[in-house]
Amino acid sequence: MEKRTFLRSSLLLVTAAFSQPSKLWSATPNPSFDVTDEEADEQTTGPFTLPALGFATDALEPNIDKMTMEIHHDRHHQAYVNNLNKAVVNTPFAAMTIDQIMANVKESDTAIRNNGGGHFNHSLYWTLLTPKGSNAPTGELAKKIDAKFGSFDKFKEAMSAEGVGRFGSGWAWLCVGKGGELVLMSTPNQDNPLMKNIVKKQFAHPILGIDVWEHAYYLKYQNKRADYLKAFWNVLNWDEVGKQYDMAKAKM
């Protein structure tokens, strides 16, 4: 190809790429990519709605900053809700609760898996955060944590290691597993331990979830995920984890 022709063809290709970004980027959705503004802005109607935060977006400062909370809740979670509402149309999932969706979703239900997981996981995450509250477990849960991990500090180290060790995007979980045992694990993307068709033998009830996607911490902590995980313990509401423990225990 003559040089001039080659240059013109290249320019045309680049122009085409930039004039049709949605076609290029949405053809094969990749769960490791984050949401777009279009997905967050879209007005959908459907069975699922964004739950309100129980506190102001700046209430977790300096541990989690206001802008991260605004974007994370108002943009990312809203987009999961919007995409989930679209994905359930004309499927049996439309008549299910979010818990039933978690129990029935399969690997091949890609949009439901990613956005249903995103909706469930974030709905739990917001309720676990608080500007004030009990900063250590109490009662039976405290005893279980000591028995399983040696001490509360050792538990925090082990759970932080799950979060740091998760390659790419995902979640670290403290769960109630078989026989009421406490189990630590992490899952990729927006999966969670309630997706029994996907996690198989790792099925368990999550009582504490830590979002380790970059969107949960990058504005303040950049690449330092471990620093975000350290700060997370300052805004975790153990009263709420205790309630989740009681509910999960009754189901196992």
Residues 137, 139: Cα–Cα separation, whole Å: 7
Q: Which stretch binds Mn ion (CB under 5 A): 109-117, 153-161, 191-199, 208-216?
A: 208-216
Between 114 and 130, CB nearer to Mn ion: 114
Q: What is the largest CA-CA distance in the chain?
A: 78
CA angle 120, 158, 60 (to 5 degrees): 55
Compute the least distance from the CB of residue 70 to Mn ion, in Å.
Answer: 13
Beta carbon nearer to Mn ion, 128 or 182: 128
Closest distance to Mn ion from the beta carbon of 80 (Å):
9
Query: What residues form DSSP beta bridges with 176?
Result: 182, 205
Candidate residues 213, 221, 238, 245; the one interacting with Mn ion per rule CB under 5 A: 213
When the beta carbons of 213 and 232 are compared against Mn ion, the nearer one is: 213
- Distance (Å, whole) CA 80 – CA 140: 35
Contact of 229 with 48, CB cutoff 8 Å: no
State in angstroms the smallest separation of the CB of 76 from Mn ion. 5
User: Angle 121-172-140 (CA atoms, 0-180°, nearest 5)?
Assistant: 90
- Cβ 165 to Mn ion shortest distance, Å: 18
Name residue 117's amino acid. Answer: G
CB 138 within 8 A of CB 242: yes
Question: Total number of residues binding Mn ion (CB under 5 A)?
Answer: 3
Minimal distance, residue 3 CB to Mn ion, in Å: 48
- 232 contacts Mn ion (rule: CB under 5 A): no
Of positions 39, 162, 191, 211, contacts Mn ion by CB under 5 A: 211
Instruction: Please identify, using beta-carbon distances, which residue of 64 and 216 lies nearer to Mn ion.
Output: 216
73 neighbors 53 (Cβ within 8 angstroms): yes
**CB nearer to Mn ion: pick between 93 and 213:** 213
Query: Residue 47: which of 110, 115, 145 has the closest Cα?
Result: 115
- Chain residues in the site for Mn ion (CB under 5 A): 211, 213, 216
